[in-house]
Structure 1
Amino acid sequence: MLSQAQTIRIISLLMFFGLLSGLAGCSTWMTGGFKDPDVQLVKVDVIKARLLEQEFRLYFRIDNPNNVSLPVRGLDYSVHLNEMMLAEGHSNEWFSVPAHGRHHFDVPVRTNLWRHVRQIVKALEKPDQPIRYRLQGEVKTGMLFGRSVHVSRNGEIIPGDFIPE
């Protein structure tokens, strides 16, 4: 017959080894065959454009190339226009992307362009000249042992293309 202390010690050891084997499985999943998901910015909508505050909605698509579903815990982002920081923030939306599947999600963005009005007006003086934009972010994946997937999109917009004639 085992004493209570011996029983507790055996149970503790079993729990410890169970935890270690579980961690090894997570580590293998996250490093062995894990492929980073592909995250694309697919659309930008202007919701409100007032003098002191602008509101946009960024639409993303995330494709999961893995054989298991991918939990996503949020997105940290920053948006630059000609190297000016326009907005930065965080989305706390949690969702799961099915194995070999895709999921669409959107992120609201608020900014105040008033502090950059001189630089923006200067850039708009030549509507045929491109303005560079850059979106950077990190998509947080996984549950307990998460991994961050970096997102970086660069491009140019020509302001004249958006000015009605």
Structure 2
Amino acid sequence: MLNKILDLGSYKIAFLLLVNLMLVSSCSLLKQDIKEPEVEVVKVKMLPMQGLDPRFAITLEIYNPNDFDLDFNSLSYQLQVNGAELFNGTKKPMPLLKKGSHQNVTLYGKAKLFNSFKVIKAIIKNPNKAVAYQLNAELEVSSMMPNYQFEHNGSFTPLPK
């Protein structure tokens, strides 16, 4: 009787191991087909000031090259101008990105006058001169996929003529 129970138990263990192996291998196969979203900075723009703190808008175009929808939890971002951090933030919630589609997302930030005094001073001194920026960001995906980090360098004119 004990031998029959042990034999039945070892079959259960073997079956469970086989199921786990199949699940792990199928997950690794799925991961190989995942393509990272493509992110482009469409525009960086200085908005009208409110008080002493300049405000900015960054418009991104995100493309989903996959044949399935991407659901993002959030987008964390940091904007540096002329090498100094101007502001950072997190956008929640993020819109669902349908398979094969493009989505525009606008990020807003308010420069902290204390932290970015030199940058603000340079912008105010010559508002029609292009300034260099670097955008560092991370898209947090809500599924088992890894987060997607990206960086974009460019320039913008704070107050175009």
1:116 alignment counterpart: 116
Gap change, CA 1:36 and 1:15, over 3 Å in 2: same
Residue 71 (structure 1) aligned with residue 89 (structure 2): no
TM-score, normalisation: structure 2: 0.72
Gap change, CA 1:131 and 1:59, over 3 Å in 2: closer
- How far 1:113 moved relative to its partner? 2.5
Distance 2:106 2:138 in 1: 14
TM-score, normalisation: structure 1: 0.71
- How far 1:82 moved relative to its partner? 0.5
For 2:117, the aligned partner's letter is V
Distance 1:40 1:28 in 2: 28
Identity of aligned residues (%): 20
- How far 1:142 moved relative to its partner? 5.3
Distance 2:9 2:96 in 1: 38
List gaps (5 residues or longer) in structure 2. none
Within-5 A mapping of 1:43-82: 43-44=43-44, 46=47, 49-51=50-52, 53-82=53-82
Q: Conserved in 2, the CA contact under 8 Å of 1:47 and 1:57?
A: no
- How far 1:76 moved relative to its partner? 1.8
Superposition RMSD in Å: 3.2
1:155 alignment counterpart: 154
